[in-house]
Amino acid sequence: MKMRRFQRFALLISAFVPGLAVAAAGPVVEAPAGSVEGASEDGLSVFRGIPYAAPPVGEQRWRAPVPASRWDGVRDATKFGAACMQPKPRAANIYAWDLPTMSEDCLSLNIWMPKEAHGAPVFVWIHGGALTSGSGADPLYDGSALAKRGIVVVSINYRLGALGYLALPGLSAENADHVSGNYGLLDQIAALEWVKRNIGSFGGDGGNVTIAGESAGGLSVMYLMTAPAARGLFHKAIAQSAYMVSAPGLKDRINGMVPAEEQGGELAAKLGAADLAALRAMPAEEIASKAPPTGFFPFPAVDGKVVPRQLVDSFDKGEQAPVPILAGFNSGEIRSLRFLLPKAPAGAAAYEAAVRTGYGELANLFLARYPAKNIEESMLAATRDAMYGWTSERLVSNQSALGQRSYYYFFDHGYPAMEEWNLHAFHASELPYVFGTATRTPPLWPKIPDTIAEKKLSEAMTDYWASFAATGTPRAKGQPDWPDYGERRGFLHFADAPRAGHNLFPGVSALHEAVVCRRRAAGDIPWNWNIGVISPPLPPKVVGCQ
């Protein structure tokens, strides 16, 4: 790292002029993208708000990202860039942050690096938020604790909502590959390309990059694993609470889903935009705020180019990146996501009748795992297992089949404030333990106690994640070895302390795999969002499906 010339000159003058005050120089890095000055913080060099792509505004709205031009001089990198446009939270919730600055010009990233880093492993974090909200600048994702383990941490912004995932025939027509949508995913790929070109200047090894994300970030990790354009840009993957749900086709109706271009046309009509020019002229704030109430939900589209096919098909064909993986889910995923639950039946008889209608000859297996004696808990567990549990175990199983190291976890930790709100191990509750940010959670997050036990669990999880990013094998000082999934379905159980185990929830993933398999074979039924009492009748058994 090099200081600005005038800073070196000022420091030299101050040595000969008593009383001359000189502001401390921040760390300066000269990278291929341009020179940046960051901040020194607790033994780390931190760089914020570095643009990795040109602003996607004007005619560049709904187009693939373009690399940012190299800037002259030294760019101030002490402040986070703006969050990508998103609706403001309509109601208080445990995940909500106050985002003071939002802009369509938001394609930036942040870097935490050990000051003497050279050839260090790189950890690239992709935030969650249903592809609708969030920011790489969220305090929960502060990379300091991980960076102090000797790795370079990068967090990124990417386009969200309709600005990130709108598909339209007109947009496809102006694209060389005749596809549209998936702009948020293309942003993530552009950020990884920037990392490959520039991270060496920040002490990182572009040949040892781990992509990681939670929820929609975990979903993004899976799409990056199957995206041809992302191949070779990363070497390990972490998917926390990912969900391998069915996706719409770009132009064709597949798996019972409305084509993405048709969904985009419906949104444009509801926004009152007569054509593409009118949409591009519409204020970004208006699009971000008005799209969700219309029912538009952002999601990657199967376009045959950026997204070759359904995720589950790509993984079945072994087309995904052959990299080590760490994946898992939380015991209370749905406790904070109750909007994913259907209305509960009136009683046990109604519950059992609905399950038998939906699951046919698999109903007895379903009811044995999710009995009618406690409908609420059974519904919470069924939705959790069908979305997050099935996905996590499928990921580690698929990577293990490729001969890759695969590590599976189950986060099952609680503490008093969490239990008081009936949120034991809720969705995303592992994040402050992984990042060591227990004091930096959102305002309404159940307060984590300041105890030795909580700190020890966090230190262990940060160690495991950093070790995996560095070597592909998760280890933590003074903690049990994490068994590979391929060794008798090994996993690590995070409760009060980490404990190794084998064969988590026997038979559960097989049950949900059987349901998904039949729905895929039928071809006209989504395999998620319709779980338990709202399941459509199970399609007939076919060759290759239970």
First to last CA, the chain: 59
Length of the chain equals: 546
Query: If residue 29 lies in a helix (H) or strand (E), which one and from where to where?
Result: strand 28-31
Amino acid at 136: G
Three-state DSSP at 422 gives coil
- Of 133, 172, 215, 378, which is the active-site residue? 215
Report phi then psi at 48, rounded to 5: -120, 150
Q: What count of other Cβ atoms lies within 10 Å of the Cβ of residue 96?
A: 16
**Residue 289 annotated among the catalytic residues of the structure:** no
Q: What's the DSSP call for residue 230?
A: G
> Helices (H) and strands (E) in the chain — how many of each?
18, 16
Q: What count of other Cβ atoms lies within 10 Å of the Cβ of residue 474?
A: 25
**Residue 333 annotated among the catalytic residues of the structure:** yes
Sheet holding 28-31, edge to edge: 28-31, 34-37, 74-76
Amino acid at 147: A
- Of 127, 235, 413, 427, which is the active-site residue? 427
Q: Identify the burial level of 164 via C-beta atoms within 10 angstroms of its C-beta, where 0-12 means exposed, 13-18 middle and 19 or more buried.
A: buried
- Of 37, 104, 262, 333, which is the active-site residue? 333
Q: Are 264 and 243 in contact (CB under 8 A)?
A: no
**Residue 215 annotated among the catalytic residues of the structure:** yes
Query: If residue 493 lies in a helix (H) or strand (E), which one and from where to where?
Result: strand 490-494
Give residue for tokens 């572009």. Answer: 206
Residue 123 pairs in a beta bridge with 153, 210
Query: If residue 37 lies in a helix (H) or strand (E), which one and from where to where?
Result: strand 34-37
Q: Are 301 and 167 in contact (CB under 8 A)?
A: yes
Residue 499 pairs in a beta bridge with 493
525-to-254, 259, 359, 535 alpha-carbon distances in Å: 8, 14, 14, 10
Give residue for tokens 């189950």. Answer: 410
Residue 154 pairs in a beta bridge with 111, 124
Q: What angle do CA 63, 69, 73 make, to 5 degrees?
A: 150
**Sequence-ordered strand ranges (E) for 399-485:** 406-411
Cα dihedral 112, 115, 117, 118 in deg (nearest 10): 120
Cα dihedral 520, 522, 528, 532 in deg (nearest 10): -130
Query: If residue 464 lies in a helix (H) or strand (E), which one and from where to where?
Result: helix 452-471
Looking from the CA of 82 toward its CB, the CA atoms found within 13 Å total: 12
Residue 34, phi-psi category: left (phi > 0), alpha (psi -120 to 50), beta (remainder): left
* CA-closest candidate to residue 408, choices 417, 420, 399, 416: 399
Catalytic site positions:
215, 333, 427
